[in-house]
Amino acid sequence: MAESPRNVPRVNQPLSQEALPSPLLRVAREIGRGGAPGGRLLLVVAGLHGNEPAGVLALQRVFARLAIARYPLAGLVVGLAGNRGALARGERYLDLDLNRLWLHDVVDRLRGGTPPAAPEERELLELDAALDAALSACPGSRFFLDLHTTSSEGPPFAIFDDALGNRPLALALPVPAVLGLEEELAGTLLFRMSARGIASVGLEAGRHTDPDSVDRAEAAVWITLETAGLLAPGVAPEVETGRRLLGASAAGVPHVVEVRYRHRLSADDEFRMAAGFHSFQPVRRGDVLATDRAGAVRAPLSGLLLMPLYQPQGEDGFFLGRPVRPWWLALSATLRRAHADRLLGLLPGVRRDARFADAFAVDRRVARVLVRELFHLLGYRRTGEYDRTILFQRRQEEPRGR
């Protein structure tokens, strides 16, 4: 195997803390590309939050390695930077959270010619154009990887919208897979790409300032290149090295976790997470997790703590999840392929909602037990609540990335 270039360590050569470059990055929109159009396409975005440089550094390593090793690629891989202005200042965002702006009305308004009112709206327009250019050049099988880090300690984990077409990418990463965030967070790029029918997965690689997060993000890129079919199995030794690295980083953590609660913040909450918490730490209902202007913030239910907030910017104090048994995924795939959701309208308190395609409205006064679990099992996600009614819409389930 050819020697890696200087200052671009391979995934199996973790950086020391002293070797971690400055978190302030000035980068072009396109971090790099490899291969050629005509086959499959893998899009990788890093740095949607400017205080998360690990994914950008990981992509720089990958493209440097691809240039030297010249591994044959069955298609095109493109790496793009997200919030370039915030990356240059090392801040999560400047005016608006870029990873909460990917709502249909916002994107349509900006595409329609409305002048951007904030730096992040300009970033969105540029990144959206770069994504569309790559997608237009590769009309075949398309895949998307979104690289992030967190403000707290904890193992790496994957995030995905639980449509069947996303599962192969997410489950190929030997880290916990977290379901249900798409029900809690609106306007993320990951879930916009999934809704467009592109097989999509995100990786939370670890703490922002941990040099190991760069290695984990790089590992995810190599593994996804092979999972997406751009690299033939066994061609790049970095893939197996990455699997060992990620597997060791996430040892002992449940393989699949479903989000059950989001602690939403407002600007005047004065939220302060208590010291010492980390992702996937078990907590009990009533445990004091933080403080705000009203006093102690207690866990509303028992479960696994996810992404406790230890940074000044952010809208989410923490999440709580619970493990999902492995057989649940197999059962849900069988039921979805059998179109078992056709029976949902026969259940008491459940009716079709004519305002939306493939949607059901559930009366919480009638249907009270295992409602969310049943709809998740059959491929639906919660999209809203009103007048004691929960709205569920069907996920995009046609085969993708094949």
Cβ neighbors of 339 (< 8 A, separation 6 or more) are none
CA distances from 186 to 130, 137, 190 (A): 22, 28, 10
Same domain, 240 and 266: no
Alpha carbon distance, N-terminus to C-terminus of the chain: 30
Coil, helix or strand at residue 149: strand
- pLDDT the model gives residue 395: 82
- pLDDT the model gives residue 22: 56
Residue 8 domain flag: no
* Residue 118 · residue 96 · CB < 8 Å: yes
Rounded Cα distance between 165 and 347, Å, is 28
Same domain, 264 and 183: no
Residue 402 domain flag: no
CA nearest 141: which of 229, 30, 46?
229
Which residues form the domain of 168?
A: 17-249
Residue 199 domain flag: yes
* Residue 222 · residue 62 · CB < 8 Å: yes
Phi, psi of 50 (to 5 degrees): -75, -15
Same domain, 50 and 166: yes
Domain stops at, among 299, 323, 347: 323
Residue 297 domain flag: yes
Domain stops at, among 294, 323, 352: 323
80 has which bridge partners? 30, 45
Instruction: Please give the structure tokens belonging to residue 359.
Output: 């949607």
Question: Which one-letter DSSP state was computed for residue 278?
Answer: B
CA nearest 186: which of 208, 152, 156, 161?
161
Same domain, 166 and 313: no
| CATH code (residue 261) | 2.40.50
CA nearest 44: which of 160, 190, 191, 147?
147
Residue 10 domain flag: no
- pLDDT the model gives residue 230: 97
Phi-psi region of 65 (alpha: psi -120 to 50; beta: other; left: phi over 0): alpha
Percent of the chain with pLDDT over 90: 72
Cβ neighbors of 358 (< 8 A, separation 6 or more) are 393, 394
Strand residues in 177-237 grouped as ranges (E): 177-179, 199-207
- pLDDT the model gives residue 23: 65
> What's the chain's length in residues?
402
The total of structural domains in the chain comes to 3
Question: Which one-letter DSSP state was computed for residue 15?
Answer: P
Based on the number of CB atoms within 10 Å of its own CB, is 343 exposed (0-12), middle (13-18) or buried (19 or more)? exposed
| CATH code (residue 64) | 3.40.630.10
Q: For helices 211-227 and 237-249, what crossing angle results, to 10°?
A: 130
Same domain, 47 and 110: yes
Same domain, 224 and 87: yes
The letter for the amino acid at 240 is E
| H or E segment and range at residue 171 | helix 167-172
Residue 1 domain flag: no
- pLDDT the model gives residue 402: 41
Same domain, 240 and 124: yes
Same domain, 92 and 208: yes
Helices (H) and strands (E) in the chain, counts: 11, 18
Same domain, 309 and 221: no
Residue 266 domain flag: yes
Residue 400 domain flag: no
Instruction: Please give the structure tokens belonging to residue 146.
Output: 């979104």
Domain stops at, among 202, 227, 249: 249
Same domain, 157 and 84: yes
- pLDDT the model gives residue 13: 40
Same domain, 40 and 130: yes
- pLDDT the model gives residue 295: 95
Place of tokens 């590769």: 138
What strand order describes the sheet that includes 359-363? 350-352, 359-363, 389-394, 380-386
Instruction: Please give the structure tokens belonging to residue 267.
Output: 């600007």
Residues of the chain with pLDDT under 50: 1-19, 398-402
Same domain, 164 and 125: yes
The letter for the amino acid at 386 is Y
